[in-house]
A and B are shown apart, each in its own frame.
Chain A
Amino acid sequence: MSVDAVVMMLPPPRAGRRDVVRAALGHGRTRVGVVLAGLVLAIALLGPFFAPHDPGAIVARPYAPAGPGMPLGADYLGEDVLSRVLWGGSRVVWTSLVATLLAVLLGGTLGLVAGYARNRLDTLLLWAMDVVMAFPLLVLVLLFVSLLGRSPWLTVLLVGLGWTPVVGRLARAVTLETVGNEFIESAEMMGFSRRRILFRELLPNVVTPLLVQAGALLTWSIGIMAGLSFLGLGVQPPNADWGLMTNENFAGLTIQPWAVAAPIACIAVFTVGINLIAEGFARAISGVRERD
């Protein structure tokens, strides 16, 4: 899914979408990234099938150390840490992925249009984006979540919209730089449609920085999604969630570090993996070949 998300943002299959994927996979870092992100994705998606216990089942005394049947010990209530890690990944992973995708698609389109239009529409879009950017994202999300409820879709929408100006600003800047090039004028002169100029001529030149930005945004989104659960506004106990787990077990960090370290490790490995993939694709698109 992560690779698909990235591939969707690639230029139209002109020079060959498959070639870009192959070139990206030619970079060692991309392969490492795919393995890391894939591993965490597998835990998040398939984990529940392999969990030895129910995530809400009390199986030992609180903060019990690792033992037979529970290799990572127990958490503050005596629930099995391994089972909760296996159960607790799906939500943070999908919400952050979808939120990032939303931001990249929406922000990328707005930025392209704004940068190409260079008129009142551009000014208007810039103002709108600046207004959104003026609010710290976490505060914005907290505000709406406390007003409207804890639906995961609401969080996805809020985080996606919150990141939109970040992508939009970048896309607009790169578009402005590209639009002055003579190949755009050439297309104007031939009378190509504006949509064609936007998506066939400009977009491929804007995609690389957007991809890199998408990698960073995904990382930040995971942070926010986990943070919301940590703050008690995301997943509610007894359901399991990696962000929630770090919150619940924070007090017992010195007695039973696994209950905090395992979910954090999953989040960290996932973000590192995604960033490696994004970088690999960025290199493949800009034509850097692996040198050996």
Chain B
Amino acid sequence: MAVIEVIDLRVELTNGLDVVDEVSFSVDAGEVLGLVGESGSGKTTIGTSLLGYVRGGARIAGGRVVVDGVDVLAASHAELTRLRGKAIAYVPQDPAAGLNPARRIGRQLAEVVKVHQPSLGDDAVRARIAQVLGEVKLPQGRELLERYPHQLSGGQQQRVMLALAFVNRPKAIVLDEPTTGLDVTTQAHVLDTVRELCATHRVAAVYVSHDLALVKGLADHVVVAYAGRVVERARCAELFRHPAHPYSRALLDAIPDVNQRRELIVIQGHAPAPGQRPSGCAFADRCRYALPECREAQPDLRRIGEEHAARCFRAEEVGAMPAPLRLQALERPAAAVDAPVLAVRGLNASYGGTRILHDVAFTLERGRCLALVGESGSGKTTLSRCLIGLHAQWDGEASYKGQALARSARSRPASVRHELQYVFQNPYKALNPRHAVGASVAAPLAHFFGVRGREATVRVGEALERVSLPAALAGRLPRELSGGERQRVAIARALVCEPEVLICDEITSALDVSVQAAILELLEELEQERGLTLLFVTHNLAVVRAIATDVAVLRAGRIVEAGPTGRVLDDPEHGYTRELIADSPTLLEAGGSGASAGVSSSNNPGRGQESPW
């Protein structure tokens, strides 16, 4: 029986533009629905609408949302208050923002129980809290309850959020990307807990995510959202086997996988913003299968099979095409092994009195891409910051082209400063918000090469075009750009410095998968065209598979395993590497790896075999 029922939900901005429209789905007790989409797809809006809430500037304009028999949209404020946290709970993306930093964990948990069950005695409340802490796999003693949120790790905070959500035994729960900030291993554990709790207590869950691989391992049904509409709705296995909407197919084509190296296909263009959505199908401009009529009329969400519906005129055709997964030869032609560009030996680094890195050593040859992999706190970012000269508290040997590197960037010669470049994780903070992006790119030109005026304008335009941005973008401010565009500008700023080595710190982690594919493609081109050497810091093994020639796995400040990507990921020697691989969500089943497993692409049917899924 459906616990959550959404019929024709419509959310508008105050100026009448639709953020979300024609959204319908239902979730049964004990079932997990994966709500997948990229930024701007309206997935979070749909998620919070289930609790009768939308962010400021928007309003729920139509449709019905029924949770556990109560019409949420018709409910009064008092009824909603009773409903939220009791019948339906919410787990936000950032647990640190969801917990009150000034109150102890125990009090926050007790508050949620007492609000909904005021008659419960203190002992009963304590017993209930102890029980739920056990369920979310947190220690049940007093010690945890006495702590403040900042004294917990990210994973523990998220478990506390789960405890808050499950403490009143809700009938339904909305989880909004609750594992985005967590390490793969922690993520895997949290997901296990979610799966187990929903099954045991027959909770209907809506899991909002941008990560298809993660949803594949968790959900029973999947809803794919694009530009505020449901474009496809199917049973999980069916969606991954026969994606019937071109967008679902394109998304699957754009994500790298930990188990096999595959060709990533970039989705061209942007998702249209509210108000700029075309009259026809919102995806038509980016669609490989678009027909003239796609631009004229908007297709309806049509049933195309048992529990499978898609919003496409050609859904049956697209669904019948071979599975979209494309594989390609595992190892790239390795660049000729040169003398190392970057060599590190016996590097120890600390923050204050804490040792972060212990005796780190590696070499990096020209034209290769070394991925530094590890969980948060493993020291991978500290290592990259030592190398670029932003963290000065280290000793040991680090040399660039045989020349020892000074600790701080300021004491390095200009040639080293421009040949070693760094791209930061967060594209929203990496560009000065008060400078036009062209000015940000031009600044190093003037600084290193004395290039100014007209020539600088030309060079900036070239650099922007090199990263697939129009040169006209130079006059815009960063806030007028999307996250992916900003990251490209940051890369362009590094490129005008004519770098030999580019250090990339988690540069795709804040981006959508389709944008990630485009950035990875760009880096690979640069590597091949210019012989650029990459040091790629990431926690995402799928990205490693896509881009790196070599991997070094960091754990608690030590390199525990290093080697060529294919060898390390297919045949890991260290237990920790194996654990990381096992915990990474995957689209493919593990094990069946092999360099020659060429699976057909829709463009090359001749090469084909059957999909491994």
Contacts and interface: CB of A to CB of B under 8 A. Distances in A.
Given A15-B477, A183-B429, A190-B448, 12 more contacts: A15-B434, A181-B430, A183-B431, A183-B440, A186-B430, A186-B493, A189-B422, A191-B410, A192-B443, A192-B447, A205-B433, A287-B479
A182 B447 contact: no
Contact of A190 (B424, B432, B436, B444): B444
Given A11-B434, A15-B436, A182-B424, A188 B429 contact: no
Nearest to B416: A191
A190 B497 contact: yes
30 contacts: A14-B434, A14-B435, A14-B436, A15-B434, A15-B435, A15-B439, A181-B429, A182-B426, A182-B429, A183-B429, A183-B431, A183-B432, A183-B440, A185-B424, A186-B422, A186-B430, A186-B493, A188-B410, A189-B388, A189-B422, A190-B443, A190-B448, A190-B497, A191-B409, A191-B410, A191-B412, A192-B443, A204-B435, A205-B432, A287-B479
B404 interface: no
A190 B417 contact: yes
B401 to A, nearest CB: 18
Interface residues on B, range: 20 to 34
A9 to B, nearest CB: 13
Interface string A192-230: 100000000100110000000000000000000000000
Contacts of B424: 182, 185-186
A182 B412 contact: no
Nearest to A202: B432
A181 B426 CA distance: 9
Interface of B: 388-390, 409-410, 412, 414, 417-418, 422, 424-426, 429-436, 439-440, 443-444, 447-448, 477, 479, 493, 497
B432 A201 contact: yes
Interface of A: 11, 14-15, 181-183, 185-192, 201, 204-205, 287
A285 to B, nearest CB: 8
B496 to A, nearest CB: 11
Contacts of A185: 390, 424
B81 to A, nearest CB: 34
Contacts of A182: 424-426, 429-430
A14 B439 contact: yes
A189 B493 contact: no
B390 A188 contact: yes
The 5 closest A-B pairs by CB, nearest first: A204-B434, A182-B424, A182-B430, A183-B432, A181-B429
Contact of B409 (A188, A204, A287): A188
Nearest to A183: B432
Contact of B389 (A15, A187, A189): A189
Specify which of A15, A181, A190 lies most central, judged by the most chain B CB atoms within 10 Å of its CB: A190
Most A-side CB within 10 Å, residue of B389, B426, B429, B436: B429
A205 B447 contact: no
Contacts of A189: 388-390, 409, 417, 422
Nearest to A180: B429
Nearest to B433: A205
Contacts of B443: 187, 190, 192
A186 B497 CA distance: 12
A16 B76 CA distance: 51
Nearest to A201: B432
A205 B434 contact: yes
A11 B434 CA distance: 8
A287 B414 contact: no
Contact of B417 (A181, A183, A191, A204): A191
Contacts of A191: 409-410, 412, 414, 417, 447
Contacts of B447: 190-192
A120 B410 CA distance: 20
A190 B388 CA distance: 10
Nearest to B432: A183
B497 A183 contact: no
- Most chain B CB within a 10 A radius of its CB, from A185, A189, A287: A189
A11 B493 CA distance: 22
Nearest to A15: B436
A187 to B, nearest CB: 8
Contacts of A15: 434-436, 439, 477
A278 to B, nearest CB: 18
Contacts of A14: 434-436, 439
A191 B406 CA distance: 13
A185 B432 CA distance: 11
Contacts of A187: 443
B400 to A, nearest CB: 14
A77 to B, nearest CB: 55
Contacts of A192: 443, 447
B410 A287 contact: no
